[in-house]
Chains A and B, each alone.
Chain A
Amino acid sequence: MNIASFAPLAVLLPILGAALTFLLIRHSKAQRTVSIVVLSLTLLLECWLLASVWDGGTSAVNIGGWLPPWGIVMVVDQFSSLMLVVSSSVSLAVLVYATGQGMADGDRDAPVSIFHPTYLILVAGVSNAFLSGDLFNLYVGFEILLTASYVLMTLGGTGPRIRAGVTYVVVSVVSSVLFLIAIAMVYGATGTINMADLALKLAELDPGTRNLLHVMLLVAFGIKAAVFPLSFWLPDSYPTAPAPVTAVFAGLLTKVGVYAMVRTETLLFPGDTFNTPLMVAALLTMVVGILGALAQSDIKRLLSFTLVSHIGYMVFGLAMSSVAGLGAAVFYVAHHITIQTSLFLVTGLIERRGGSSSMDRVAGLAKLSPVLAVLFFVPAMNLAGIPPFSGFLGKLGLLQAGVQLGTPLAYALVIGGVLTSLLTLLAIARVWNRAFWRKPEDAEHPDPVLLADPAESATGDRAGKANVTLLPRTMVGSTLGLVIFGVGLTVFAGPLFRVADQSALVMLDRTSYIHAVLGEDAAVPALSQPTPGPDPAGDQPADGQERK
């Protein structure tokens, strides 16, 4: 049985769910149930997909029976299924959080009835992008998730959201147009847009043409992934959206860009043609991003800048094009999706409890709500890369790979990576000191909520009554779930790292992918492998049986 035959369900289920929730637009309770059930089913399906490729192997399905390279293929391998599982877990947690928020304050801030269908379509787009084995289908996946994200970004249509939405929409459309131009040129040059077929045909092109196509794809994906010179739009547009929306955007959207960059670099254009520029971009992304974060006084904006900055780590891992570097980057993507999303969810809770997300206004939260403090502290330390956590492990893997590479630029990146990590710690510690540790009276413009009569809180009235509306149990619960999931990545880092390294090996080797899509007799052009090494998984023969 071909496992990939079930892969299209990961896209279909959310779309069907979206249709159903749209029909139930007047029944918010039924809507909530449908979307949570649908996402849970999708998550289960994706866990099954991951389990079946856990030990290596790639399988592909031809949609509608059209044979590649003409038809659309969907490809399941370790990298794509790992991304699917992490992204669906995160989106399920955010969905629960959002329904909790919707139940707590009704439709005041966001028309939740629109939220559910749009959110499911976003998830479908993300799944489609991760599974796609066809350049144009990847574009369609991007467009599905972007169109859904336009609606989510401007939910409620308030002034600031519309202002931020305009920037976001225009930048996204321009990047999509660039991507489409690149697709057209790729098709013009090779006559195919199937990624496995391209892997064979792009190698035959004239180096000049190939480099042009390569740069165009990288720029288009670089805008979506927010790599430094192209990252200006992100901190401007993310912070104004509703908290759950910002959280899911921060977790997923940029990572889909990173995923596309990884596929471009490994499958379509292997080799090290653009490794040096990518490394420079990675260094600048890390350093400039984190310096921006230090200047902010709003927690959401600060987190948006750290998001940009940490994209640099992933690009660094990718740019080394070694198994160790790419494997660490894969692990880092999984870690960062989880951690960044949980931090934004906690910020949403801070905003509810403290009345604002500005560090000039909130203070003393550690005393007011110790749960909130713990929920913030754990992912924050994880983000900064404090030893036991997965952030540390991912960064350690990247730095080791950098030292292994040993070029001066790699050493510069290693130093830059350590510096960025320390500056992240500084930025996070400032949030901690200001929002959690200092007394409310010391804040520049304390929010009235924080200055309420201390006697009231002493009697426990506040804890018993007000806290329930300020911090609904579903919201805290889903955030807690995601934080625990993040800690789980640390606990199970061993097997995860093994899978990440294996997937890196398979991606750099390409044989498995090309054979899965085009059949066994496709001749894979040999290329100068940086680290050939013995194949520990021995998964080449296994793939043969995968595909019938």
Chain B
Amino acid sequence: MSVNLTLLTVMGALYACGIYLILERSLTRVLLGLMMLTNATNLLILTTGGYAGLAPLFSKDTAPGDYNDPLPQALILTSIVISFAVTAFMLGIIYRTWVLAREDEIQDDAEDRRVAKTPSFDVEDDSVIPVETSEFPLTMLGSDGQSVSDTPDGADATVKVADRKLDAEVAASEEQPGSLNITPPNKEGGGQ
């Protein structure tokens, strides 16, 4: 079986450019890269169908070997439709990113950055407990809730979100989808 060298070369070029482009940070380029990858794959499927032949419309006089293999073309049609839908959706997302952040770049996950910057000292587990925190014995005597958070924490870490530089804690709380009733964390702790 011989293969079409032009198709193979084009496919290789599309794959190379596609992979290069999806490694970029700009969303539009990523989208272009994805389109190239899917189109290169369509060419690959076409190649697997063997060499070109007659249109696969049955007639009694044609030898079976002369027809083109119709299955890869059916697969390509399906995959074109799917990549069309995905491309449309990606365009929607890119537009939305532009509306929200005025930039066309993939943004960092603020919570990820915050966790990465958290010191290994854990307030809950590692600090010396000032008062009895148990629910039962000392509540009557007034566990004054001696602010546990006086101990050092990573509050001065900052995060770059879009174009603003934010305190890491604040950034993380903005990230929380459900917390609509948050207040900026007050440094005193306790919050009585």
Contact = CB atoms under 8 A, between A and B. Distances in A.
Contacts of B22: 170, 174
Interface of B is mostly: helix
Given A166-B106, A174-B37, A445-B191, A154 B93 contact: yes
A448 interface: yes
B101 A159 contact: yes
27 contacts: A147-B86, A150-B89, A159-B100, A160-B175, A160-B177, A161-B177, A162-B93, A162-B96, A163-B97, A163-B109, A170-B22, A170-B34, A174-B34, A174-B37, A177-B38, A180-B45, A183-B75, A184-B41, A184-B45, A184-B75, A193-B71, A239-B111, A295-B115, A357-B179, A358-B176, A434-B124, A442-B145
A70 B75 CA distance: 13
A361 B96 CA distance: 30
A334 interface: no
A160 B97 CA distance: 10
Interface string A387-427: 00000000000000000000000000000000000000000
Contacts of B111: 239, 298, 301
A423 to B, nearest CB: 15
Contacts of B173: 356, 358, 361, 445
Given A159-B100, A297-B115, A297-B118, A442 B38 contact: no
A264 interface: no
B106 A167 contact: yes
A19 B153 CA distance: 52
Interface in B24-64: 27, 30, 34, 37-38, 41, 44-45, 47-48
Interface in A155-213: 157-167, 169-170, 173-174, 176-177, 180-181, 183-185, 187-188, 193
A42 B182 CA distance: 41
A357 B37 contact: no
Contacts of A444: 123, 148-149, 153, 185, 189
Contacts of B47: 184, 188
Max chain B C-beta neighbours (<10 A), residue from A147, A173, A176, A361: A173
A40 interface: no
Interface string B88-126: 011001001100110000110111100100100001100
Contacts of B181: 355, 447-449
Interface size class of A (residues with CB under 8 A): 35 or more
A236 B109 CA distance: 7
Nearest to A150: B89
A439 B112 contact: no
B82 interface: yes
Contacts of B169: 445
A242 interface: yes
A352 B133 contact: no
Contacts of B44: 181, 184-185
Contacts of A441: 145, 190-192
A151 B86 CA distance: 10
B2 interface: no
Interface string B138-150: 0000000100110
Nearest to B112: A236
A297 B182 CA distance: 17
Contact of B27 (A166, A297, A442): A166
Contacts of B109: 163-164, 236
Interface in A131-162: 136, 140, 143, 147, 150-151, 154, 157-162
A455 to B, nearest CB: 15
A140 B81 CA distance: 11
A419 B158 CA distance: 35
A467 interface: no
A240 B109 CA distance: 10
A296 B86 CA distance: 32
A184 B178 contact: no
A324 B184 CA distance: 53
A181 B145 contact: no
A140 B41 CA distance: 15
Nearest to A108: B180
Given A163-B109, A181-B41, A351 B93 contact: no
Max chain A C-beta neighbours (<10 A), residue from B45, B71, B178: B178
Contacts of B12: none
A216 to B, nearest CB: 12
A169 B176 CA distance: 21
Interface string B150-192: 0001000000000000000100110111110111011001111
A163 B41 contact: no
Contacts of A157: 96, 100
A170 B35 CA distance: 11
A448 B191 CA distance: 9
A358 B96 CA distance: 27
Contacts of A447: 179, 181-182
B138 to A, nearest CB: 12
B100 A147 contact: no
A357 B89 CA distance: 29
Contacts of B27: 166
A172 B96 CA distance: 20
Contacts of B48: 184-185, 187-188
Contacts of A187: 45, 48, 71-72, 75
B79 interface: yes
B84 to A, nearest CB: 11
A438 interface: yes
A371 interface: no
Contacts of B179: 351, 355-358, 361, 447
Given A140-B78, A355-B182, A361-B173, 16 more contacts: A109-B177, A157-B96, A164-B109, A169-B93, A170-B30, A174-B37, A180-B79, A236-B109, A297-B115, A356-B173, A356-B176, A361-B182, A437-B135, A438-B133, A444-B153, A445-B186
Max chain B C-beta neighbours (<10 A), residue from A70, A236, A358, A434: A358
A405 B36 CA distance: 46
A20 to B, nearest CB: 21
Contacts of A445: 169, 173, 185-186, 189, 191
